[in-house]
Amino acid sequence: MKRFAELDSEAFCRSAARRIFALQLLFVALVALLFAAAWAGGERVWLWSLAGFLALLSVQAVTISWLMVGVRKKLLSLEGERDAFYQELLRLSAFSSLGEISSSIAHDLNNPLAIMNEEVGWIQDLLQGQDPSGPHALSEYANSAVQIRLQIQRSAEITRRILSWSREGEENRQLVDLNVLLNKTLVLLESDLSSARISVTKELDPRLPPVSGNLPELRQVFLHLTKNALDAMKDRGGVLTIATESRGDLVRASIRDTGPGIPKDLAKSIFSPFFTTKPAGEGTGVGLSISAWIVKRLGGKIEVESEPGAGSSFHVLLPASPAPPQEENPR
Amino acid sequence: MSAIRLLIVDDETRLVETLSKRLAARGLEVEGASSAREALDLIEARPFDVVLLDVRMPGMDGIEALREIKRLRPLVQVVMLSGNASVNAAVEGMRLGAAEFLLKPLDLETVLARVEEAYEKKRLEEEKVRSDR
């Protein structure tokens, strides 16, 4: 399988600038030493001219490193701009991911509504019937009332799910159990999953350490990745595999599909903002780029393995957080 | 005129139950099924005029079931039911020969009207088949 990694040009430039700067310092120190030696050595002209030459070089070098500092500053400000751009994109995509799950929500809510609608209709039918207060009608009313209450509870459960999606843990970093998060993501996409032809395999490591991150952001990452995997198998069905694994200091969560895979010529572009292969109106192309940015900010990365015709795997690697102190079992 | 023989297919069993009671009270002959599999078995076992078929069901979904029903009994009219206005599913359903597409929650008068239209359509098609022979 081919592996695609993201090139981190900013980090590269920064470390290069640092290294050049250090070399220049060394250079200047050497020149100073030479000067001192020439001074002490008396009238050796060649030593003086060598020192002058080196001094000239070091002036140039200092200029170069000064320029590099400028470049670095520029890069930092660009990075700041990029962060601001992604923050904004993240804010906007919160709406779009709500849009993505909204058809699922609509379906989930319309089912209990449809049932309540029929129950109420049935009560009205009986009321307009021949014996609205007979024993049969009375037991039917009671029966319908129970059913309506049941469906109201079911609807409330769905709205709670939406609320918890949009509100829970808005700002702060917290310890997140990726197993729980992945299971919740699957519940959210339940009705997408239940409609035929996609089966789910879970390979969750029960001893997975938590990661530190912002919950709604991480939720977006896994919603995007899972949605993408489902979309990849929309036409022909397949197997969705959700796996977690502890790898040294890292935690790896993988979303695998058995869809058509990523064509080689598109592989480089998949993390670019606004890149999408979906028709207009179905995808905005921001999901993967935002996800990559979120994960990178938490000190992790997303790796992709894909084989055209054999599906894709997206691996989210995040630094494991030290487990919270074990609570004493109260019983 | 004999009663319209209707089959309601939805994984929400309570919806099937109550809708059946209400439509039966309006003179239809109603059967219910809670999965596509069960519905196909029933359709193979006895004659129906119209099928009310939910699009989204676990296991075999409505679109697949529609294809099967049309293969088994081309003249049976299928009215699709859906919880969300998915244009794609509606277009796909129509292409596969569904007679109508209704959104949940259902309006009973509309359901009755569409079922009667579908029944009428089936009767006309049957007559046409008979006269072609």
pLDDT at A2: 33
Mean pLDDT of A57-77: 79
Supply the pTM of this predicted model: 0.59
- Judging contacts by C-beta atoms under 8 Å, the chain B residues touching residue A131 are none
Q: Which residues of B are less than 8 Å from A107 in CB distance?
A: 56, 82-84
With an 8 Å Cβ cutoff, are A196 and B64 in contact? yes
Which pLDDT score is estimated for A76? Answer: 82
Of residues A168 and B79, the one with the higher pLDDT is B79
Closest CB to A114: pick one of B15, B21, B61: B15
Q: How many CB atoms lie within 10 A of CB B20?
A: 19
pLDDT of A27 over the 80 cut: no
Identify the weakest region by mean pLDDT among A65-69, A84-88, B94-98. A84-88
Which positions 187-216 of A are in contact with B (Cβ < 8 Å)?
A: 191, 194-196
Task: Check CB contact of A99 with chain B, cutoff 8 Å.
Answer: no
Give mean pLDDT, residues B28-47: 95
Please give the average per-residue pLDDT across B57-76, as a whole number: 91
Size of interface A-B (CB pairs under 8 A): 67
Report the SS3 class of residue B6.
strand
Chain A contact set for B85 (CB, 8 A): 106
pLDDT at A272 over 90: no
- Tell me how far apart the alpha carbons of residues B23 and B6 are, in angstroms, rounded to a whole number: 9
Average pLDDT over residues A74-99: 73
Give residue A109's pLDDT: 87
Q: Tell me what the mean pLDDT of segment A75-92 comes to.
A: 76
Closest CA to B49 of B82, B103, B18, B3: B3
A113 contact B CB<8A: yes
* Candidates B8, B12, B68, B84, partner chain A, best to mutate (most A CBs within 10 A): B84
Interchain pair B22, A147: CB under 8 A: no
A122: distance to nearest CA of chain B, Å? 6
Backbone angles phi, psi at A286, to 5 degrees: -100, -15
Q: Give me chain B's average pLDDT, please.
A: 91
Please give the pLDDT value at position A117: 96
Residue A40 pLDDT > 50: yes
pLDDT of residue B17: 96
Whether residue A8 has pLDDT greater than 60 = no
Lowest mean pLDDT segment, chosen from A7-16, B60-69, B91-100, B104-113 = A7-16
Kind and range of the H or E run holding B83: none
Q: In the numeric block, which tokens belong to residue A32?
A: 């100073």
Say what the pLDDT of residue A215 is: 83
A41 touches chain B (CB under 8 A): no
Least confident of A82-96, A146-160, A217-231: A82-96
Q: What is the pLDDT of residue A251?
A: 94
Confidence of residue A98 (pLDDT cuts 50, 70, 90): low
Instruction: Out of A70-74, A134-138, A182-186, pick the least confident.
Output: A70-74
> How far from chain centre, in Å, is Cα B114?
10
Q: Please name the residue ranges forming H helices in A270-317.
A: 287-297
Confidence of residue B2 (pLDDT cuts 50, 70, 90): confident
Is the peptide bond between B105 and the residue preceding it cis, with omega within 30 degrees of 0? yes
| Per-residue pLDDT, A101 | 65
Whether A330 has a pLDDT exceeding 50, the answer reads no
**Weakest mean pLDDT among A104-108, A208-212, A299-303:** A104-108
Are A24 and A62 in contact, with CB atoms under 8 Å apart?
A: yes
What CA–CA distances, in Å, run from A78 to A217, A289, A313?
Answer: 23, 17, 31
Q: Min CA distance, B59 vs chain A (Å)?
A: 5
CA distance B24 to chain A (A): 11
pLDDT at B97 exceeding the cut of 60: yes
Is A195 close to B86, i.e. CB distance below 8 A? no
Nearest by CB to A115, from B12, B22, B85: name it.
Answer: B12
Closest chain B C-alpha to A280 CA, distance in angstroms = 14
CA nearest to B13 within chain A: A115
**SS3 for B76?**
coil
Count Cα neighbours of A261 within 13 Å in the Cβ-side half-sphere: 13
The CA–CA distances, whole Å, from A222 to A44, A180, A185, B33, B71 equal 72, 12, 7, 36, 40
pLDDT value at position A3?
A: 35
Is A118–B15 a contact, with Cβ atoms under 8 angstroms apart? yes
User: Hey, is A281 helix, strand or coil?
Assistant: coil
Closest CA to A5 of A300, A224, A321, A280: A300
- CA angle, A68 as apex, A64 and A74 as ends, to 5°? 145
Q: Per-residue confidence at A74, pLDDT binned at 50, 70, 90?
A: confident
Classify residue B80 as left (phi > 0), alpha (psi -120 to 50) or beta.
beta
Strand A238-247 and strand A250-257: pairing?
Answer: antiparallel
CB-CB under 8 Å, B57 with A195: yes
Q: What average pLDDT score do residues A140-160 get?
A: 91
Half-sphere exposure of A161 (CA within 13 A, CB side): 21
Among chain A residues, CA nearest to B106: A114
Is A241's pLDDT higher than 90? yes
Q: Which residues does chain B have within 8 Å of residue A194's beta carbon, measured at their own beta carbons?
A: 56-58
Residue A113 to residue B104, Cβ atoms within 8 A: yes
pLDDT of residue A93: 66
Buried-exposed string A112-141: b where 16+ CB fall within 10 A, e elsewhere? bbbbbbbbebbbebbeeeeeeeeeebeebb
Q: Which residues of B touch A118 (CB under 8 A)?
A: 15, 18-19, 22, 105-106
* Phi, psi angle pair for A126, to nearest 5°: -65, -40
Average pLDDT, chain A: 79
- Percent residues over pLDDT 90 in chain A: 28
Write the burial class of residue B53 (CB in 10 Å: 0-12 exposed, 13-18 middle, 19+ buried).
buried
A155-213 pLDDT tens trace: 988 887 777 656 554 556 788 899 999 998 888 777 677 665 788 999 999 999 999 98
**Closest residue on chain A to B57 (Cα):** A195
Q: Which residues pair with A198 in a beta bridge?
A: A238
pLDDT of A38 higher than 80? no
Chain A: nearest CA to B25, how far in angstroms?
A: 9
- Report the C-alpha gap between A229 and A125 in whole angstroms: 47
Inform me whether the C-beta atom of residue A124 falls under 8 Å from chain B C-beta atoms.
no
Q: Which candidate from A121, A147, A196 shows the least CB-CB separation from B14? A: A147
What is the three-class DSSP state of A77? helix
More confident residue, A263 or B112: B112
Contact assessment for residue A74 and residue A33, using Cβ atoms and an 8 Å cutoff: no
Residues of B in contact with A121 (CB under 8 A): 18, 22, 108
Average pLDDT of the segment spanning B90-118: 91
Confidence of residue A144 (pLDDT cuts 50, 70, 90): very high
Which residues from chain A sit within 8 angstroms of residue B56, using beta carbons? 107, 191, 194-195
